Structure 1
């Protein structure tokens, strides 16, 4: 398993954001694990959301900015199948130790993960038109 973990860490790259001795476990996990994975998987998130729009026949281009943002919120927060797929894209790049940390506090980490994903999609909303 160590070989996989080493490969995953090299693939993801450096920590994004600061981590100090005063950082909470969740904040450290966010900056050391979640941010690098979200950055690495960005193209996959974009492709998945584009597919989601097409599959669900959402006329995204004709919507107002507010309505587009709401579509993103609803897709990630309320569409369980889509949300679970997005979580899988992220969790699949955890090391064994990171998964153990995640499993101890999955509820709070899931909230952070999905919130960060929503903000990432919203910040690139122009790609979906």
Structure 2
């Protein structure tokens, strides 16, 4: 029987991005943990964002592309409840070791996490329709 850690790492796949001897701990965490989780959860994040936009009276869907990009960034930065929900979807796929690393520097890692998620949603803006 495999452990939770083994199953999570197998599910997420390989490191995304380069890691070198000069890479910071945060950069290593980003490329080994955050990017693979965000890739794995991409479809879920798209659906969650669509659901959020629908609950916000569908304003998002009538915006121009430029305003949609701005809306995505604004919502994730300003709606703390929504942002915390998104963070939970990511943190829930951490191994125990990754969680220990995360809690040591959660503020900076949260910024990286949300910036990566914002960029991912912006890249998927065409999928954000009802």
Asked if TM exceeds 0.5, the reply is yes
Question: Which ranges of structure 1 fall in alignment gaps of 5 or more residues?
Answer: none
Aligned pairs (5 A) from 1:1-129:
3-129=3-129
Which is worse superposed, 92-101 or 56-65? 56-65
* C-alpha distance in 2 between matches for 1:27 and 1:10: 21
* C-alpha distance in 1 between matches for 2:58 and 2:106: 31
* C-alpha distance in 1 between matches for 2:79 and 2:111: 15
Report the TM-score, using the length of structure 2 for normalisation.
0.94
Q: Is the 8 A contact 1:60 1:128 kept in 2?
A: no
User: Which deviations, in whole Å up to 9, do the C-alpha atoms of 1:10-61 show, x marking residues without a partner?
Assistant: 1100001111221100000000000000000001100000000001113223
Q: How many residues align?
A: 128
RMSD of the alignment, in Å?
1.1
Report the TM-score, using the length of structure 1 for normalisation.
0.95
Which is worse superposed, 44-53 or 73-82? 73-82
Please give the secondary structure, in 2, of the residue aligned with 1:114: helix
Shift in Å, 1:63: 1.0
Question: Which ranges of structure 2 fall in alignment gaps of 5 or more residues?
Answer: none
* C-alpha distance in 2 between matches for 1:65 and 1:49: 16
User: Which deviations, in whole Å up to 9, do the C-alpha atoms of 1:57-81 show, x marking residues without a partner?
Assistant: 1322321222211210122110011
